[in-house]
Amino acid sequence: MKKMKKSVVVDHLCRVEGQGGISVSIEGRRVTRVEMNIFEGTRFLEALVVGRLYNEVPPILSRICAICSAVHTVTSLMAVEDAFDTRISPQTKLLRELMIQGGNIESHALHLFCLAIPDFLGYSGAFTLAGDHPQEVKTGLRLKKLGNTVQEMVGGRAVHPVNAVLGGFGTVPTRETLLTLKEELMKGLEEALAATEFIAGLEIPNFCQSPTVYAALDSSGKEYSLFGDRITFSSGASKEIKSYKEVCNETVVPHSHAKHSRFEGKPFMVGALARVMINGHKLDFEARKTKEKFGLDSPSDNILHNNTAQAVELIYSIERSIRIIDELVEREIRDEKPVKIRPKGAQGTAAVEAPRGTLYHSYTFDNQGRVTIADVVTPTAQNLANIEKDFRASAERLIEEGEDSLQAKLEMVARAYDPCISCSVHVVRLR
């Protein structure tokens, strides 16, 4: 008998935003190929900033990604300041964190309600989902707007923030602005908590279960945080942020414009699920209860739980934003001017937890403060090798499945990683 051949090709999955795809081939009872292809055009942004002055770098590199632009901006600012030994004020630190929490709220709300939930309920997207579940889509849009409002009020713009600059902020938001924001966050928290009931009711399939190493930033601090001073692995290993290259260990692969990462020979996962797995015990308040409600207090080896982990973080980020505002108001807002930057020949590195996982920026400057080397490692790039591992595990388990159903399920796996917006939904083509 002729060997049965099956192949699945999915267009439009990407590097950080844009075009990439999935190719999986099955021959007989064997999965012969799993690839996450990245077709997004390469803009060479890291090479383009070489020769630019230090203060031009954050706004240019923010353009790597629209939906993660707040965290790209802050990570970039921190890397420049790390190089020049700039000490920023506690107020600036809190405001930057608030911006990032806003980005996390917006990104998770968009992914969860508009991009991922339609999968679980069998819709082609939020627009069709809205026909039957208008309430859930409206909740998603309101929470997404809340995250954008936070980013706008602090960062000056929801996409590519303008107000966060080296050493501080162009204009510090007023006490009144922050208190208005707090009211909106309180309302948003109620709404997000109500939505967790709906999310808890979604059935999470387990066709993609596969042992996974998780990685996230961690610190000796007691609170769950999107910042940290070392990279911790669920395998027990730990690395300094400065040694990120040993972790990301990027290699170029022929089928992808994005480089692949492995640590100790194994792929690993970064993102909301990794953070909850590694630092979940530090969660408090309603976020902690939500984590327990979703059963995320025990180890998970199912990437589809990244969706529920995002729901936990949605609650966390709203609660944390409220606490940041309380702290800012309690300390009394000061109209601080940005700290003066003193450029020198030096190297600086920073890492922050972006919505999709750990983001690294690292630069080397000459004596005038011009970039000689720039390196950015995005979470999606780190996840690619792990996505391929999950494709293989899923395809092996679903070997009997028809091509349509196999495609839909592989897309669900890819989408669970939330691999940056433009890649999250795509056209499917059979080859």
| Closest distance to another protein from the beta carbon of 42 (Å) | 6
For residue 206, give both structure tokens.
Answer: 């387990």
| Closest distance to another protein from the beta carbon of 132 (Å) | 14
- Residue 215 CA to residue 264 CA, distance in Å, equals 12
Residue placing its CB nearer to another protein in the complex, 134 or 299 = 134
| Closest distance to another protein from the beta carbon of 115 (Å) | 8
| Closest distance to another protein from the beta carbon of 79 (Å) | 18
Residue placing its CB nearer to another protein in the complex, 93 or 142 = 142
- Residue 232 CA to residue 240 CA, distance in Å, equals 9
Chain center to CA of 189: 21
CA angle 126/359/73 to nearest 5° reads: 85
How many Cβ atoms sit within 10 Å of the Cβ of residue 23?
Answer: 18
Contact criterion met (CB below 8 Å) for 182 and 188: no
Residue placing its CB nearer to another protein in the complex, 235 or 368 = 368
- Residue 279 CA to residue 318 CA, distance in Å, equals 17
| Closest distance to another protein from the beta carbon of 146 (Å) | 9
Q: Which residues bind another protein (CB under 8 A)?
A: 12, 16-19, 39-48, 50-53, 56, 59-60, 63-67, 69, 110, 114-115, 124-128, 130, 138, 141-142, 144-145, 148, 156-160, 162-163, 165, 169-171, 251-252, 254, 257, 259, 420-422, 424-428
Residue placing its CB nearer to another protein in the complex, 59 or 341 = 59
Residue type, 145: K
Residue showing tokens 């945080």 = 225
By the 10 Å C-beta count (0-12 exposed, 13-18 middle, 19+ buried), 230 is classed as middle
| Closest distance to another protein from the beta carbon of 46 (Å) | 6
Residue placing its CB nearer to another protein in the complex, 26 or 146 = 146
Residue placing its CB nearer to another protein in the complex, 40 or 81 = 40
| Closest distance to another protein from the beta carbon of 232 (Å) | 29
Residue placing its CB nearer to another protein in the complex, 5 or 138 = 138
- Residue 420 CA to residue 186 CA, distance in Å, equals 28
HSE on the CB side for 137, CA within 13 Å? 15
- Residue 80 CA to residue 397 CA, distance in Å, equals 47
